[in-house]
Amino acid sequence: MVPVLIRIPEEEYLLYKKMAAGEGVSLAGFFRDAASKKIGVKKAKKKYSIFDLGTKVVLKGGPKDASVNFDKYLYEK
């Protein structure tokens, strides 16, 4: 992405910031979405992570205290 500097009156800034917070996006994201809608550009599909699935991954085997003693098992022999 390329950074862009714009100047707007303070009253408009406060209004846009409130609107962005209402939508749950950053001010930059609010402006990007508005500009994309204006020219009709479709947003790229969101890349999903395995953590977005809302499922728990359970692995079998290994020490039961690995999450607590991770460094011990990784670096000590």
Over residues 3-52, the pLDDT tens digits come to 889 999 999 999 999 999 999 999 999 999 999 888 988 766 666 666 66
pTM for the model stands at: 0.52
Res 66: pLDDT: 77
Cα distance between residue 35 and residue 6, in whole Å: 13
Res 77: pLDDT: 64
Cα distance between residue 33 and residue 74, in whole Å: 44
Interval 42-64 mean pLDDT: 69
